[in-house]
Amino acid sequence: MTREQAKALIGERFSSAQVDGDAPTSAEATASRPIVVTLPVDQWTAFAQFAKTTLGCRFFSFSSAVDWKEQGLEVVARIDNLDDGVGVMMKARLGPGVSACPSLVPVFRGAEWMERECYDMFGIQFEGHPDLRRMLLSDDWQGHPLLKSYAVDTPHPPYR
Amino acid sequence: MLDTAKTSKVEFDYSGGERLTMNMGPQHPSAHGVFRAILTLEGETIVGVDAVIGYLHRCHEKLSETLTYAQYPSIASKTDYVAAMTSELAYVMAAEQIGKIEVPKRAQYLRVIMAELQRVASHLLWLGTWCMDMGGALGGGATVFLYCIRERELILDLFESLVGARLLYGFYQVGGTRYDIPDGWAQKCRETINLIDARIGEYESLLEDNPFFLARAQGVGVISRELAEDVGIAGPLLRGSGVNFDLRRAAPYSSYEDFTFNVPVETGGDCFARYRVRMVEFRESIAIVRQALDRLPDGAISSRPGLKSVAQIRIPKGEAYARVEGPRGEVGCYLIADGSAKPYRMKWRGASFSNLAVLPHIIPGHKIADVVAIMGSVDPVFGEVDR
């Protein structure tokens, strides 16, 4: 499957998704440039399933989130078709003040730890995650440090 | 006289009716760092594992938002401190992709030389510590470890004469490298890799002629191809599970397309397959270093002026995901720039984090002693797991 075929398939199946992978980057990056797909959040899991089965993107690279301040949180996930070298960067905006997102764990087992980390750092509630606990910080930590509203020097008792 | 008929029969077989929770770590020597596994046991067999990480978390991602593009590369070394040369590279490559900054050919070759020397050094540490973990099986314990450390020191000496540091280098900067190789360095490098090249065969014969080693590595900790891709493990683990994927080949960066090398693939998926992949990678890395030294172009080592202030590097708005093939697999840096001197958001895809995530899927069913062998074959570096 080539990059163009993959893009055509995505456009056919997910008409509401915004496919924009042609932002020109340096020559070095061109070979590994992913197809960037921006989705409505309700199609997050359905698209992952489609990418895995139809596009052959079986390799789960990572997932994370970005805090766009008043515009709310955005979740991102990178998956790859290793045989054909096609990468897909999935993105979805959760909307202002929303912290609920469907989980990718039913599709990719690798999402289990990545989403736990994401919950830990951003407080995103992944619905359908079997074991949503903090990953890197201790269980009694207060707040979610990668949010922009969390100051770098926020004191954490008893370590002040 | 003992009346055998009257002695009660002692039952040694374990019926498996009782479960025991055992805590392994976070200071277990085989953890290579700080990793805690809460094991649920039935007798000696593991039926469940809960992995606890985060003991070494230093909030790299939050920290990077407060440091400029000139400051952070030397901090990036501290994510995977056993392979500092590759984690730094991922960060500067991400910044270069967004800023469309070209890197001179000489700098690209120097980057390749250092990354490959680092891979050899990292694999030496892996081999040594893994064999020490399984020490009893190797009739002497620390033998292989000391041999490997001896060779690794030679590579660290090379790095020391290049940048003055032995563990965390700060060698790369956006647009090129910070240092050029000094006089006589190339010759010293050739002598070192020739010596190591000759000694890898010794380790192989030490290990592969040893039936105890084979018994502990073969068929232990099998990762299927399907599981490997689903969890997103990378590097020697992925190639040990039959996936022919190496970023240096699939998506060449920093002029890797100029060099000829093989990508070893094993289909066993067990500890032994991962061991074989890394043993071949030693030689392939050395071959790449030789080619790069032979063809090292003249010219500048950076496309940017020398750094005079920490906020000197500004890159435009944009985002990039740069990935390099580190010793432990795909080290990725997802960087979002907002036009200032500092990133808006930076996400590390630590290879060790994803590799370690496979443990809860493969450990159940094994004995406690196998956990040590499997952990060692995964080769996690906890600076990169916890970031």
Instruction: Between B286 and A85, name the one with better pLDDT.
Output: B286
Task: State the average pLDDT over residues B113-141.
Answer: 82
ipTM of the complex: 0.85
Out of B54, B347, B361, the one facing A137 most closely (by C-beta) is B54
Sketch the domain layout of chain B as residue ranges: 4-52, 60-386
Residues of B in Cβ contact (< 8 Å) with A137: 54, 57
Q: Where do we find the tokens 């406690």?
A: B368
> Residue A83 pLDDT more than 90?
no
Q: Which residues of A touch B53 (CB under 8 A)?
A: 135-136
pLDDT band for A31, please (50, 70, 90 cuts): low
To the nearest whole Å, the CA of A16 is away from the closest chain B CA by 23
- Enumerate helices (H) and strands (E) in chain A, giving the number of each: 4, 7
Give the residue on A whose Cα is nearest the Cα of B50. A131
Cβ neighbours of B12 (radius 10 Å): 5
**Residue B38: φ, ψ to 5°:** -95, 105
Beta bridge partners of B346: B335
Extract the tokens encoding B341: 């001197």
Dist. CA B107–CA B99, nearest whole Å: 17
Give the pLDDT confidence score for residue A27 in this predicted structure: 46
Q: Which of residues 59-118 of A touch B (CB under 8 A)?
A: 59-62, 64, 66-67, 76, 78, 82, 85, 89, 108-110, 112-113, 117
**Between residues A39 and A18, which one has the greater pLDDT?**
A39
In words, the CATH class of domain B60-386 is: mainly alpha
Mean per-residue pLDDT for B289-317?
84
Is residue B148 very low, low, confident or very high in pLDDT (cuts 50, 70, 90)? confident
Do residues B310 and B344 lie in contact, with contact meaning Cβ atoms separated by under 8 Å? no
Q: Assess whether pLDDT exceeds 70 at residue A32.
A: no
Write down the pLDDT at residue B109.
Answer: 92
**Average pLDDT for B355-383:** 87
What pLDDT, in 10s, does the model give residues B1-47? Answer: 444 444 444 555 555 567 888 888 787 766 677 888 888 888 888 88
pLDDT digit string, tens, across residues B230-281: 998 988 999 999 898 888 888 888 888 889 999 999 888 899 999 999 999 9
Mutating which of B321, B335, B384, B385 best tests the A interface, going by the most A Cβ atoms within 10 A?
A: B321
The answer to whether the beta carbons of residues B154 and B195 sit under 8 Å apart is yes
Which of A108, A138, A103, A106 has its CA nearest to residue A124?
A: A103
Give the pLDDT of residue A18.
Answer: 79
Using only C-alpha atoms, what is the Rg of chain B?
Answer: 23
Asked whether B134 and B214 are in contact (CB, 8 A), the reply is no
In this prediction the pTM is 0.86
Helix (H) or strand (E) holding B115: helix B105-133
Please check whether residue B255 is in contact with residue B93, taking contact to mean a CB–CB distance below 8 angstroms.
Answer: no
Q: Looking at residue B73, what is its pLDDT?
A: 87
Residues 116-135 of A with CB under 8 A from B: 117, 121, 134-135
Q: Which of B97, B250, B344 sits opposite A26 (nearest CB)?
A: B97
pLDDT for residue B298:
87
Q: Burial, B208: exposed, middle or buried (Cβ in 10 Å; 0-12, 13-18, 19+)?
A: middle
Are B356 and B80 a contacting pair, CB within 8 Å?
Answer: no
pLDDT tens per residue, range B121-132 = 999 998 888 888
Q: Which of B322, B328, B302 is nearest to B252 (CA)?
A: B322
Question: Which residue type occupies B25?
Answer: G
pLDDT at position B277: 93
Residue B273's pLDDT is 92
Do B40 and B49 meet the contact criterion of CB atoms below 8 Å apart? yes
Nearest Cα to Cα of residue B349 among A117, A37, A99, A69: A117
pLDDT at B7: 47
pLDDT at res. B140:
56
H helices present in B4-83, as ranges: 60-64, 72-76
Query: Quick one: what percent of chain B has pLDDT higher than 90?
Result: 22
User: Which residue from A31, A85, A110 is facing B357, i.e. has the nearest CB?
Assistant: A110
pLDDT-derived band at A26 (thresholds 50, 70, 90) equals very low
The Cα-based distances of A12 to A17, A23, A46 in angstroms read 10, 21, 14
Which residues are A59's β-sheet partners? A80
| pLDDT value, residue A102 | 92
Q: Does residue B286 have a pLDDT over 90?
A: yes
- CA closest to A29 among chain B residues: B97
- Overall average pLDDT of the B58-72 stretch: 89
**A32 contact residues in B (CB cutoff 8 A):** 247, 250-251, 253, 323
d(CA B229, CA B243): 9
Beta strands in B133-175 (DSSP E): 172-173
Residue A50 has pLDDT above 80, yes or no: yes
Residue whose tokens read 């991922």:
B90
Quick check: B299 pLDDT over 50? yes
Under the phi-then-psi rule, with left for phi > 0, alpha for psi from -120 to 50, and beta for the rest, what region is A69? left
The amino acid sitting at A45 is: T
B67-81: pLDDT as tens digits: 998 888 888 888 888
CB neighbours of A71 closer than 8 A, spacing ≥ 6?
A93, A96
Q: Which of B57-71, B206-220, B351-365 has the lowest mean pLDDT?
A: B206-220
Peptide bond into A158 cis (omega under 30): yes
Q: Indicate whether B189 pLDDT > 60.
A: yes
Residues of chain A in contact with residue B354, where contact means CB-CB under 8 angstroms, are 61-62, 110, 113
Reference B84, options B133, B57, B117, B36; nearest CA is B117
pLDDT, position B16: 57
